[in-house]
Amino acid sequence: MWRNKANNADPLWQFRAAASPQTVHKLGLAVLVVAGCASILHLADWWFRAEHVASLPLFLVLTFIFWWGIIRMVVLWISYLRISKPAPKPAPAHKSVAIFTTSSPGEPLSMFEKTLAACARINYPHTTYLLDDTRDPRFREVAEQHGAVWLELVGLPGAKAGKINAALQRTDEEFILVLDPDHIPFPNFLDEVLGFFDDEQVGFVQVSQAYYNQYRSFTARGAAEQTYGFYGPTQMGMNGLNCAVAIGANCTFRRKALESIGGHGTGLAEDLVTAIRIHAAGWKSVYNPVVVSRGLVPEDLGSFCKQQLKWARGVHEVLFAEVPRLWGRLSFWQRLSYLTVGTYYVSGATMLLFLLIPYLFFWGGLQPANMDFVEFVLNWLPVGVFGVLIYLYVQRWLCHPEEERGLHWRGMFLKFACWPVFFLGFVLSLWNGKIPYIPTAKLADGHFTWFAWPLLAHQFLFISTLLYVVVDRTYYTPEARLALSSADVWGMMAFAGIAFLMTSGGLFAAYQSSKLTPKEPWAAVPLPTAGHPASNQPLAA
């Protein structure tokens, strides 16, 4: 059969699982983490010295933006020490399982054909429901054609979560898998999940989210790179601390758990709201680091930023509304984990301050710290070295290391370019502001996304500052000042140049996005057949 051949050829469409943590590897990790923490203590001992303070308020700001990142890194390292993978458990027979997938107006029908066909091929007996509000009769046809139950749920508040809650009322299965419609599940999806519910305390089981269109663009590749670590070592560490979070897609819930919190959470971060409430209600969570479906990652910068803005705003909603309310019912690690997740997008504010430093110097004559550059490099370098070593070391626990390993520089460029988005999300959440309507560029309309404007403004600021400094030093700086101020000025310019370079990466992504030809990536995808782990599957040719 052609399908088998195709599946064998394409490494993406095979079942993948992260390696089980072995004691010797965890000891090696612990050594690196101890070394990293020792280096950080040494750095702190050097950083916090009175002689480094040039202007106290500015030094405090600089300290905040610098140590913010370091502290988050340490929390991550410590969670890595608890990396764990749940022992595989066979799915018990005769459980009733529902798969919910939702369709909304404007979503392409052909994508549902693929997803529903793949759902039909899932081994474990189940019922697939299409939660539809398109008012398009073709969706019903496609659902029924693939043996799915069509539920028309029009005009409900709360978008996807609203439909899920309504569908919960009209169904009675014990377990509900919420599957995003762009995700094409593998036949063994439910076999990898249901066994963990043997433990009556388990409220939800999350699996990895993997993608199949990352090759389409710089943005897609970078966006995917940003998630590799999270769905590998990060969530595995959170699993060990019983604080794995639900991601909205690919999460299987116990109906009782959802009912105990009054249904699926709503809002911009409905997944995170649901997870924190289930945790607060005393349920356990399981994260199984396996690839049993692949979906789409945003291909153009506009869509990516829109998604990030939604999450940034939603995550802060959780931080300000859910975390304080549920604080008393969370474990220590759950509190730390939700605080860490909830403050991820604060980096929008710290990045803005970081970008401002050279311009405060050039236009305002302000210098935040009296630090010697060489001393800073020497004190910071061990932290940087162990940071990179740990980052690379934990990649042994990625779900698909052959595919996902690397320094993920595209992801770094993309994250850097998103600071205006994060910052907007952060600022909006301060007064609970609504996300403004931002038209997402339809693919290949030849225009830069709205989100790239702040990046362009930054580049403009850099270039005009550079011109100003060059003119000022060529014609207006007294020669008696020139040589002695040279190092400070050009050192600061080099610092600003880093941001210029990183921003150029974001602008490249925006440019490429504007030239991207639309394509339906699912059209070329063969239906996955790998029902067993690739390693022990005797695939007949």
Partner 1 sequence: MKVLVYRTSAVLLVIVVGVLLSSLLLFAGERSKGPLEDLAATVTSDVARFEKQLVGGDQRNSRAASLRWFNQYRTHKALLNAPDTILVGAYDNNTAQSYEHIVALEESLQVKLPIMQLYTAWGSKKDQGFPMLRAQAIQDLGSIPMITWEPWLDDFDRKEFTTKQPANRVNEGGLKAIATGRYDAYIDKWAGAAKQFGAPFYLRFGHEMNDPYRYPWGPQNNDPADYIAAWRHVVSRFQKLGATNAVWIWSPHPAYHNYREFYPGHDYVDWIGVTTLNYGAVAPWSKWYSFDEIFGSSYAEFSQYGKPIIITEFGSLRVGGDRAGWFRQALTDVPVKYPAVKALVFYNNASDVTTTYKSLDWSFDADKKVLAAATQAMKTWRVQHSPIQRLLKEKLLVAAPRAGQPGLPRGGK
Residues contributing to the site for partner 1 (CB under 8 A): 27, 30-39, 42, 372-375, 377-379, 381-382, 385-386, 470, 473-475, 478-487, 490
**Among 281, 264, 537, 228, CA closest to 403:** 228
> Alpha helix (H) ranges present in 151-294?
159-170, 218-229, 235-240, 255-260, 270-280
Considering beta carbons, is residue 40 or 167 the nearer one to partner 1?
40
**Among 306, 98, 295, CA closest to 181:** 295
Considering beta carbons, is residue 470 or 498 the nearer one to partner 1?
470
Considering beta carbons, is residue 487 or 539 the nearer one to partner 1?
487
Three-class SS of residue 124? coil
Considering beta carbons, is residue 128 or 379 the nearer one to partner 1?
379
Q: Exposed, middle or buried by CB within 10 Å (0-12, 13-18, 19+), for 169?
A: exposed
Three-class SS of residue 15? coil
* Least distance in angstroms from the C-beta of 385 to partner 1: 6
Question: The tokens of 168 are what?
Answer: 């919960």
Considering beta carbons, is residue 32 or 341 the nearer one to partner 1?
32
Q: Which DSSP letter does residue 148 get?
A: P
**CB 19, CB 533: distance < 8 Å:** no
* Least distance in angstroms from the C-beta of 369 to partner 1: 17
Considering beta carbons, is residue 110 or 486 the nearer one to partner 1?
486
* Least distance in angstroms from the C-beta of 458 to partner 1: 25
Question: The tokens of 209 are what?
Answer: 């989210």
Considering beta carbons, is residue 471 or 523 the nearer one to partner 1?
471
* Least distance in angstroms from the C-beta of 154 to partner 1: 58
Q: How does DSSP assign 392-456, residue by residue?
A: HHGGGGSSSHHHH-S--HHHHHHHHHTHHHHHHHHHHHHTTPPPPP-PPPPTT-S---GGGHHHH
* Least distance in angstroms from the C-beta of 380 to partner 1: 10
Considering beta carbons, is residue 51 or 172 the nearer one to partner 1?
51
Considering beta carbons, is residue 135 or 481 the nearer one to partner 1?
481
Q: How many CB atoms lie within 10 A of CB 71?
A: 12
Q: How does DSSP assign 304-346, residue by residue?
A: HHHHHHHHHHHHHHIIIIIHHHHGGGS-HHHHHHHHHHHTGGG
* Least distance in angstroms from the C-beta of 38 to partner 1: 4
* Least distance in angstroms from the C-beta of 378 to partner 1: 4
Considering beta carbons, is residue 331 or 485 the nearer one to partner 1?
485
- CA angle, 102 as apex, 290 and 514 as ends, to 5°? 80
* Least distance in angstroms from the C-beta of 363 to partner 1: 17
CA torsion through residues 100, 105, 106, 112, sign: positive
* Least distance in angstroms from the C-beta of 223 to partner 1: 34
Three-class SS of residue 88? coil
Q: What is d(CA 326, CA 312) in angstroms, rounded to the nearest whole number?
A: 20
At which residue do the structure tokens 């992504």 appear? 509
**Among 144, 91, 15, CA closest to 528:** 15
* Least distance in angstroms from the C-beta of 12 to partner 1: 37
**CB 485, CB 274: distance < 8 Å:** no
Residue type, 60: L
Considering beta carbons, is residue 28 or 105 the nearer one to partner 1?
28
**CB 131, CB 163: distance < 8 Å:** yes
Residue type, 294: R
* Least distance in angstroms from the C-beta of 480 to partner 1: 4
